[in-house]
């Protein structure tokens, strides 16, 4: 058992260990870094964490990051309402936006279908996507899912959920880095995959 023998520091290390990609060693480094900072900075950091966590919630339409009821994309009248890009996570949505290659709207699934890992797409996410399409005006649903077996299964599950609705469903073309999420792709690759999307 690691730990430094000072309860408050050990408690901090335990908390930091939960961060993605941070193991015991990384958590200890962060903890010592924090201990070496001015108290003001530590106060600012904890305030920033609290503010972000408390004020952010999923957009009531697309499930993306929002501070009020709607995310900035859903409340932007300039965004194309006819095209919905389906992504696995809020992070993937941010990744797509960073490249500025898409002017439609999004739908965040908040999970993927992976029977082997016992994971499934939250049923509310599929229901609300169906709802958006049923309300009309949506011409195309583009599935921007990971180029992996799980991404493939997730795409099929979404396609199936929309099967009886009069909407075109397409997928990003191949060429994306295999295994990673779409967040790993560079702008040029993602743009090509979006332009070369194919119907399902």
Site residues, Zn ion (CB under 5 A): 59, 61-62, 64, 71, 74
What are the backbone angles phi and psi of residue 53, rounded to the nearest 5°?
-65, -40
**C-beta closer to Zn ion: residue 13 or 62:** 62
**C-beta closer to Zn ion: residue 14 or 69:** 69
In angstroms, what is the minimal distance from the CB of 178 to Zn ion?
29
In angstroms, what is the minimal distance from the CB of 92 to Zn ion?
14
Cβ burial, residue 157 (10 Å; 0-12/13-18/19+): middle
**C-beta closer to Zn ion: residue 13 or 59:** 59
Structure tokens at 26: 């990384």
In angstroms, what is the minimal distance from the CB of 123 to Zn ion?
19
**C-beta closer to Zn ion: residue 17 or 79:** 79
In angstroms, what is the minimal distance from the CB of 156 to Zn ion?
25
The answer for residues whose C-beta is within 8 angstroms of residue 71's C-beta and 6 or more apart is 59, 61, 62, 64, 65
Question: Taking phi first (over 0 means left), then psi (-120 to 50 degrees means alpha), and beta for anything else, what does residue 166 get?
Answer: beta
């Amino acid at each position: 058992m690691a730990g430094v023998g000072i309860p408050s520091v050990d408690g901090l290390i335990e908390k930091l260990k939960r961060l993605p990609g941070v193991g015991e060693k990384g958590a200890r480094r962060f903890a010592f870094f924090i201990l070496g900072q001015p108290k003001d900075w530590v106060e600012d950091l904890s305030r920033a964490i609290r503010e972000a966590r408390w004020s952010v919630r999923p957009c009531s339409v697309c499930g993306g990051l929002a501070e009020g009821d709607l995310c900035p994309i859903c409340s932007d009248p300039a965004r194309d309402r006819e095209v919905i890009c389906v992504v696995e996570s809020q992070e993937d949505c941010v990744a797509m936006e960073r490249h500025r290659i898409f002017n439609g709207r999004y739908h965040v699934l908040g999970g993927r279908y992976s029977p082997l890992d016992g994971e499934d797409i939250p049923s509310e996410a599929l229901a609300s996507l169906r709802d958006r399409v049923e309300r009309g005006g949506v011409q195309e649903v583009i599935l921007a899912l990971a180029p992996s077996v799980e991404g493939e299964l997730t795409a099929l599950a979404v396609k199936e959920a929309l099967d009886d609705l009069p909407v075109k469903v397409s997928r990003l073309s191949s060429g994306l880095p295999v295994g990673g999420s779409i967040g790993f792709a560079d702008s040029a690759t993602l743009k090509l995959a979006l332009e070369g999307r194919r119907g399902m």
